[in-house]
Structures are given as structure tokens and as C-alpha cells.
Amino acid sequence: MLCYDLLRFPALHVVACAQSLRKPKVESMHADLILTHGRVYTMDATRPQAEAVAVTGNHILDVGSAADIASLRGPQTQVIDLDGRPLLPAFADSHVHFVQYALARQRLDLSHTRAAEEVAALVAQRAASTPPGDWLHGSGWDRHIWRDPTLPGKALLDAVAPGHPVALDSKDLHSLWVNSLALARAGITAATPDPPGGVIVRDPHTGEPTGILLETACELVTAVYPPPSPETCARAIRAAIPLAWAAGITSIHQMGDAPDGRAFRAFQFLNQSGELGLRVLIYLPQEHLEAARAVGLRSGFGDRRLRLGGIKLFADGSLGSHTAWMLEPFQGEPSNCGVGRLEPDELRALVRQAGCAGLGVAVHAIGDRANREASEAIAAARQAELVSASAPELRHRIEHVQLLHPDDIPRLAQCRIIASMQPTHCTADMEMADRHWGEPRCAGAYAWRSLLDTGAVLAFGSDAPVEALDVLAGIHAAVTRRRPDGSPGPEGWHPEQRLSVAEAVHAYTLGAAYAAGEERWRGSISAGKLADLVVLSDDIFTCDPMDILAARVDITLFDGQVVHWRQGEGVRG
């Protein structure tokens, strides 16, 4: 029998543990692995807390007291002494662009820049080591944190990279900053009309494109990128999976794909080769709806590593790009109510078509008008959907739900719409929301408590690479509505919308599993469910809420195997 202390869990022993758990199971009542002497927060209402968990193969054998679970120990059972640490269901990220996140790690990171000139300096450095004519890609610039928040233009990029087409995604992925060569490659001139659902920002005097593209106008340039191959995507995903494990994440909901299906192809390749170390629920883009309907694809198709979630649709843009679709104009912009990327009738038709084909929808909606149109479209589609024992009700969802009119808050629960939200958007964007939405509208911004109290299901995620792939930061934001520096004060921003730790964790575990239609086999620590588990360094349920950020992921189990451990104290895995 082996007994390891988490703080001194050597790498060799972890590898040995993983290899041992891959061996064929011999039928017996003995556990392969026991985690004991911990504070087990199960997310199972029938037994909320326990002391120990027994694992056999990739499933949970039993949950109970340390003494009860000790009876399942056999001569080959491996034991991890938790020494009082909390054990939780492994986390899910319910809204992530994982392929973009993985690929972005190979591109220019502009998230820490504080001026357009700093961005240009980074582009100049990359241009010096890149063959002329090759594209330069970057992401993460945010003019709202720059010293001068004026929209940048193409001239600054032309000066530092005249021989390279440059395309730089904004932090929210709803604006693209390009240079003249990129515009030329895409054929964009003063005579190019704005595409439906998009804006080519133009010089008010000459009509020439400034180098900023919004919403669907970005696609005019991205369409001429040399696309990364599925093999390139697979390599990037393979390298990024351990970062998810280090955050305690074993399940992701991949939101959307490129028209060529590169993400779906890459995930399939990794799944078939046995290298997909995450449970992936993928939502296909709107362009794939007809093809999916034609071949009869339905939500839930796949296995327990890779499944089809449904279709991703966009109702509007973003707060940061001032393209969120609003019932009333942005403050200080009396003619700007944002951008509706689909006309209301078109949105309703698409949701109905998907629903009648057995495909759930995930509708991106930021502004209060977008959320109203999305919820009304789903409500109308519900009436046409067939529900049976073999085809249960679809788990339709709205992504982000950042601003709701008070009249619309109860609608999500009434129409059984999942609120897929990202807590760190609240703390990152609260100043922008105050500035551009203002009171009284912000009373309905990131309204987790109001939604939960009406009976809506919350599923939380990160929206990486927009925000960090960090569940503990998300839990902290949901519980405190404060930034790591404590701002805006002890009560947080609109403190009436705060959640408890248990409610926030539920949204990253069982709520996320419900959103995926997977609550029967994951999301809680219950006998018979998959052994996807996470051990934390500190008890986030009992510590001061601001100290949640100090907690670390000590160990992550996926399919009953140790896939991540943290070496030493104070080190993030």
C-alpha cells in the first residue's frame, strides 16, 4: 500500500499512479485509489460533505467517512492523504475559445500594453524576425486601459511593419486593428460597404478605412488569413491542456469554430489518438447549421470525451467595442444602440430551425436588447420542439447575459434557458459598464443573484483568451464582485448580486454539467460518476473571500488518473 502526502507528492509517484490506474480492472470490492482525511464538498444535495472518496477505474466507487472508505482499501490500493484539504468535483469552463486560447499563446500578447505606441513597438520587434509578406498576428489590446483611449489607426502599424500585413484582435475579440497591407490583402477600400452586422470604421472626412473593423467586418480580413491546419491546432491544444489541468479544469465548452471546422477536426484527431485529456462539448458556428441538419446531427452526439453541444449564434457585439445591442443608446452616444448581428426575425428562424432539428443553441448576447431578442427567440422555439424519452428537452443557453432589463430577468427561468456567464467579466468591465451604460441600467448587469433567485441555472466560464483560464479568480469575482486589489471597496460592485462560494462552485461544476446534458455522470462527487476531481491548497468555503485568490490547485484527477500536481508551497501548478 502506498500513502502520499500532497505537499510531497513526487513526480515519479504521480506517473506511477497514472500508469497503474490504466491497468485493466480486476473485479473486486477494492478501490484503485482512495483520497482520505479531507473536506469533501460533493455538490451532491443528498450528501453535501464527506471525508473520503474511493475510486475504481475512472469512476467514483463510494463517498463517505474516512473509516467507511478505509474498508475498501486493498493490497494494491493507492492512498492520498488530503491532510484536511478540500476535495471538489473538477471544474468545467462553460464558455471558452480553447483553440484560439491555445493558438494565441504563439502570437503577440498585447494584454499588458498601456498605449497604442507600446503595441506598435511589439509589432516592430516581431516584424524584425518575420519574413516580409508574412502575417503578423496579435491579440489582447484594450484601449479602455490605455493612457489615451482613442481608437488607433493603420498609420501607426504602417510605420513599424510596412512589409507585413498586421491583424491585431482586441481583448473582447469584437474589434480588429489592421494596417494598410492587411486592408489591401482583403480588398477593403473606401468603396467597400459595411457587411451585415459589421462596421468598417472610416475617416469622417475622406471615407477611407481607418484600420479598425468591428464585428462581422473583421471577417473580411480573417477570411484571407492563411488558416492554421488541424495539425497545427492539435499541437497547440495538446500543449495547452496541462494549463487547464493546472486550473483544476477537466471539462470545457468550446464556443464556436472557424468555417473550415479546424477546431472540431483537431479535437477529433486528439480524441481518436487517445490524447484528448479534456471533456469537450463543442458548439458549431451558424454556417454549419444546414449541414448539421442535413445529416441529422443532434445535440449530445459523441462520447464522454467529445460531444456536440449545438449551434453558436451571435445576437450582438460587445461592451468594449460599443457594439452591444441596446434598448437605449450608450451614454454619451445618442445615436449608438450597438449592433444587432442578426435581425430579430432571422434570429428566431435560426433558433427554431436548430431546435426542430434537435440542436441546442448558445446565443451570444451582451446588451439588454440582445438578451431580450435571444430569450424571446428561444421561448418561441420551445413550442415547436419535440420532447420524448429518447430526445429530452434541449439545453438552450444564452452566453454572457451581461445586461438585462428588469422585465427580462425572470424570463430565463420561465423558458428554461441556461445563463452561461463569466464572473471575471464583471470585475474587469465594471468601470466601463458604469461609464457607457450607467445607472439605473447597471442594476441589471451581471445579475447572478437575481437570475439564481428566479430559478435560472448558472453555468460559469472564463471566455479565455478574453479573460484568464482561472476558475478560482472566477469564484472570487462571483463571491466578492471585487478586483484583486480590493476595488471598488469592501462591499463590491452592486453587492446585491453576489453569490455564496457554494453557489459559485456549483456553477463551475454541476451547473456546467447540466448545461451540457451531462449531470447524470459528472459534476458532483457521487458514487458511479466519473472520477474527475480537484484538490485545493486552502478551503475556499471557510476562508475570507478575498483570500480565495491565494488558494492553489494542488492536484487534478481526470478519469481517475492524476494529471496535475503542484510542487512546493506557494507555486501555481
* Long-range contacts of 68-76, Cβ-Cβ distance < 8 Å, separation of 24 or more: 69/31, 69/34, 69/36, 70/34, 70/36, 72/29, 72/30, 72/31, 72/34, 73/1, 73/30, 73/31, 73/34, 74/28, 74/30, 74/31, 75/1, 75/30, 76/20, 76/30, 76/32
Per the document, the length of the chain is: 573
**Averaged pLDDT for residues 148-174:** 94
pLDDT (tens digit per residue) in 519-548: 999 999 999 999 999 999 999 999 999 999
Residue 126 within a domain: yes
Least confident residue range of 7-16, 321-330, 484-493: 7-16
Q: How many Cβ atoms from other residues are within 10 Å of residue 151's Cβ?
A: 14
Going by C-beta distance under 8 Å and a sequence separation of 6 or more, which residues neighbour residue 198? 213, 214, 215, 216, 217, 218, 219, 220, 339, 341
pLDDT tens readout for residues 100-126: 999 988 889 998 999 999 999 999 999
Q: What is the mean pLDDT of residues 492-519?
A: 98
What pLDDT, on the 0 to 100 scale, is given for residue 388?
A: 60
> Are both 202 and 172 inside the same structural domain?
yes
Torsion of CA 465, 471, 477, 483, to 10 degrees: -60
Which of 72-76, 109-113, 156-160, 430-434 is least confident?
Answer: 109-113
DSSP summary character for residue 341: S
Helices (H), 136-229: 154-160, 180-186, 219-222
Asked whether residue 381 carries a pLDDT value surpassing 50, the answer given is: yes
How many CB atoms neighbour CB 185 within 10 A?
Answer: 17
Does residue 14 surpass a pLDDT of 60? no
Instruction: Examine the pLDDT at 217 and tell me if it is beyond 90.
Output: yes
pLDDT at 23 exceeding the cut of 70: no
Same domain? 114 vs 28: no
Of 382, 376, 389, which is closest to residue 354 (Cα–Cα)? 382
Tell me the torsion sign for CA atoms 545, 549, 550, 556: positive
Q: How confident is the model at residue 389 (pLDDT cuts 50, 70, 90)?
A: low
Q: What is the pTM of this model?
A: 0.85
Task: Tell whether 177 is covered by a domain.
Answer: yes
Q: Is the pLDDT reported for residue 18 higher than 50? A: no
The least confident of 76-80, 166-170, 225-229, 258-262 is 225-229
Q: How many distinct structural domains can be found in the chain?
A: 2
CATH code for the domain of 115: 3.10.310.70
- pLDDT given at position 568: 55
At 352, which helix (H) or strand (E)?
Answer: helix 344-356
Residue 202 maps to a domain? yes
Residue 36 has pLDDT above 90, yes or no: yes
The verdict on residue 73 lying in a domain is yes
Let me know whether 85 and 113 are in one domain.
Answer: no
Flag whether pLDDT at 10 surpasses 60.
no
Q: What is the DSSP string of 374-442?
A: HHHHHHHHHTT----SSSPPP--EEEE--B--GGGTTHHHHTT-EEEE-HHHHHHHHHHHHHHT-TTGG
Please check whether residues 14 and 61 belong to one and the same domain: yes
**Of 318, 253, 222, nearest in space to 98 by CA:** 253
Residue 29 has a pLDDT of 80
Position 384 confidence tier, pLDDT thresholds 50, 70, 90: confident
Cβ 446 vs Cβ 497: under 8 Å: yes
**Domain extent at residue 61:** 2-89+527-565
Residue 60 DSSP one-character state = E
Task: Clarify whether residues 121 and 212 are in a common domain.
Answer: yes
Are 45 and 123 in a shared domain?
no
For residue 126, what pLDDT is reported? 94
Q: Is the dihedral of CA 193, 137, 119, 318 positive or negative?
A: positive
Residue 572 has pLDDT above 50, yes or no: no
* Inside any domain, residue 41: yes
Of 482 and 571, more confident: 482
Residues 211-229: what's their mean pLDDT?
92
Task: Say yes or no to pLDDT of 286 above 90.
Answer: yes
Q: Are residues 71 and 39 in the same domain?
A: yes
214-244 as b/e, with b when 16 or more CB fall inside 10 Å?
Answer: bbbbbbbbeeeeeebebeebbbbbbebbebb
With respect to residue 13, please indicate whether it lies within any of the assigned structural domains: yes
> Mean of the per-residue pLDDT values for the chain?
92
Q: What's the pLDDT band for 225 if we cut at 50, 70, 90?
A: confident
- Banded pLDDT at 20 (limits 50, 70, 90): very low
We report the CATH number of the domain holding residue 20 as 2.30.40.10
Asked if 138 and 50 sit in the same domain, the reply is: no
Confidence of residue 227 (pLDDT cuts 50, 70, 90): confident
Q: What is the mean pLDDT of residues 359-363?
A: 98
Q: Is residue 268 part of a domain?
A: no
User: Is pLDDT above 70 for 33?
Assistant: yes
Q: What is the pLDDT of residue 11?
A: 30
Please report, in angstroms and rounded to a whole number, the separation of the first and last CA atoms in the chain: 27
Domain contains 136:
yes
Between 29 and 571, where is the model more confident?
Answer: 29
- Of 158, 190, 222, the last residue of a domain is 222
The amino acid that residue 515 corresponds to is: A
| Final residue belonging to a domain, choices 184, 205, 222 | 222
Distance separating alpha carbons of residues 470 and 175, to the nearest angstrom? 24
Grid cell locating 102 = 491555445
**Of all residues in the chain, what percent are helix, strand and coil, respectively (each to 5)?**
35, 20, 45
Other C-beta atoms within 10 Å of 276: how many? Answer: 21
Structural domain ending residue among the three candidates 172, 192, 222: 222
State whether 51 and 119 are in the same domain: no
